[in-house]
Amino acid sequence: MLAVHCGQDVTFSGTQKASTYQSSDWAERGFCPTCGTHLFYHLLPADEYILPAGLFEELTHFEMNSQIFIDQKPSYYEFGNATPTMTGEQVFAQFSESGD
């Protein structure tokens, strides 16, 4: 999944409120209550949001600057630019520690 780290300054609009599910002590997931489409990942201690890139109409102003869960990517999948990477274990360790 390609996602955009949007920080804290996120505003949701529309006629229907997203449903949420707290998936860990430090994060919750937001989704459409009608169709189940994933809408956001919310890091609770930092109050920061990560949204799927496909939700944005314009993708030209984004820059890929990191890759996470690199240990789960298919072997045939490779991005052209070099970025810092983290395994799933490293991601969970980083974010679970930030909530302590």
How does pLDDT run across 37-79, given as a tens digit for each residue?
999 999 998 999 999 988 888 766 788 888 888 999 898 988 8
Residue with tokens 């919310």: 42
For the chain, the domains span 1-57, 63-100
Contacts of 25 (CB under 8 A, 6+ apart): 44, 96, 99
- pTM for this prediction: 0.74
Instruction: Provide the pLDDT for residue 33.
Output: 92
Task: Give me the amino acid identity at 80.
Answer: G
How does pLDDT run across 85-97, given as a tens digit for each residue?
999 899 888 877 6
Residue 42, class by beta-carbon neighbours within 10 Å (0-12 exposed, 13-18 middle, 19+ buried)?
Answer: buried
Confidence of residue 98 (pLDDT cuts 50, 70, 90): low
How does pLDDT run across 16-44, given as a tens digit for each residue?
889 999 998 889 999 999 999 999 999 99
Residue 20 and residue 29 in contact, taking contact as beta carbons nearer than 8 Å: yes
Residue with tokens 């970025």: 83
